[in-house]
Amino acid sequence: MEQSPVPRPGPPPAEEAPPAGPPVGELLAAVPPAGRAVALVEYLKPRTSGDSLSWIADLARIAEDEGFDLPQIRRASTDLAWLARLAEQRYPDDREWSIARGLAGTRTRRLVLAYVHGQRLRFDYRFGELRTRCDQWLGEFHDDALVLGLAAFAGLGSRAPNGLDLYRRAVEAPDADDKSRNLALTAIWFADHLDGSAEMLLGLSETMMARGEGNPNVHYRRASALRRLGRFDEALVEIDLAIDLFGVGNMLVHEQYAQERRAIVDARDMRRQAEGVRDVLSTELAARVDERIGEATSAMEERVEDASRQLAQRVAVAQELVSEGLLKMVEVLGLFVTLLGFLIGSGTVIIKARTFQERSITMGIVVLGAIVFFALLRQIVGTRRNRHRP
């Protein structure tokens, strides 16, 4: 629901008459200590739907007079701020703040006004305005857990650089209580831009449940965090717990829970579909890869066989060439040995020849033998060369 425009500042509104019935002191004295904050909320509830915000000052005054502790003040301020939002009552403005900061204002009055004003802005998700206000409030209430929680909510919601630091300060503050931790839980719920925010939310919610501070909203936030982590079965358990614990109440809140449950189921179904598609694609891809590998292997084997055949042919040719070369060398060597023997024998005959005629005949035989040798050598070389011509 969108907040209506804030009216222009005017004169301070007239004080409203207190509700009819017994004085508030007697009313609070008649209830046990644990129910005093609830009783005070019921006492001031009718005034949250009017034009005047004087109930905020009365809340602070009664809290001081009746000795309310800080957790009780925070509970009453938060619950009354929510009722004022449902009634579409205006925000606190400069009129209330000028009185709270004036002579009539006390620290408790300013703190209660900061609680109510901050929660009103928080309920309507006005991150920018709340961040500006918190910068002012932290100057006076720098160590207050609820003010730090409001600042963390505004910082994380607007993605400010100091949002996470404010969150840690709010959680670790010495005066942290149920309301401040619930506010910090909502703040980290908005920090989906930070790595590990879901784990931080689960850690804080477990601390709260261990302290007995569990409620439907805690389980609702846990379900959202588990959904973000993909733990859908656990998320469904948490959101069902939130719906069961909420019971009959605000339909808008119940619808938020129902929407979160639908979101969990849809995310789970989408994850399963994606995994199914992934499995199908993986199987098809593996089959195609195996087919391509088989084709590549066959082609490679054919290439290897062709290369082996060519290599074998070349080796055979090389062996044949080597064999023929060796045979040729043996034949040529035999011819040279024969020629050498022929020349030695011819030289002996020439030396022993006594007449010119005998020497002439011998020389002719030598020349004829040389011609025959070269003819045989040429024939051997030519035959081997012709054998390798195509």
What per-residue confidence (pLDDT) applies to 355? Answer: 74
Query: Do the beta carbons of residue 41 and residue 59 sit within 8 Å?
Result: no
Residue 181 in this model has a pLDDT that exceeds 90 = yes
Residue 294 in this model has a pLDDT that exceeds 90 = no
Q: For the chain, what percent of residues have pLDDT higher than 90?
A: 56
Calpha distance 260→236 (Å, rounded): 9
Residue 12 in this model has a pLDDT that exceeds 50 = no
What per-residue confidence (pLDDT) applies to 197? Answer: 95
* Domain boundaries, given as residue ranges, for the chain: 215-288, 325-390
Out of 59-68, 95-104, 358-367, least confident range? 358-367
Convert the pLDDT of each residue in 119-159 to its tens digit. Answer: 999 999 999 999 999 999 999 999 999 999 999 999 999 99
What per-residue confidence (pLDDT) applies to 282? Answer: 79
What per-residue confidence (pLDDT) applies to 5? Answer: 37
What per-residue confidence (pLDDT) applies to 14? Answer: 45
Greatest Cα-to-Cα distance within the chain, rounded to the nearest angstrom: 178
What per-residue confidence (pLDDT) applies to 330? Answer: 65
What per-residue confidence (pLDDT) applies to 121? Answer: 97
What per-residue confidence (pLDDT) applies to 312? Answer: 78
Tell me what the pLDDT averaged over the chain comes to: 85
Query: Do the beta carbons of residue 183 and residue 146 sit within 8 Å?
Result: yes
pTM beyond 0.75: the answer is no
Cβ count near 27 (within 10 Å):
17
Query: In this structure, what DSSP letter does residue 354 have?
Result: -
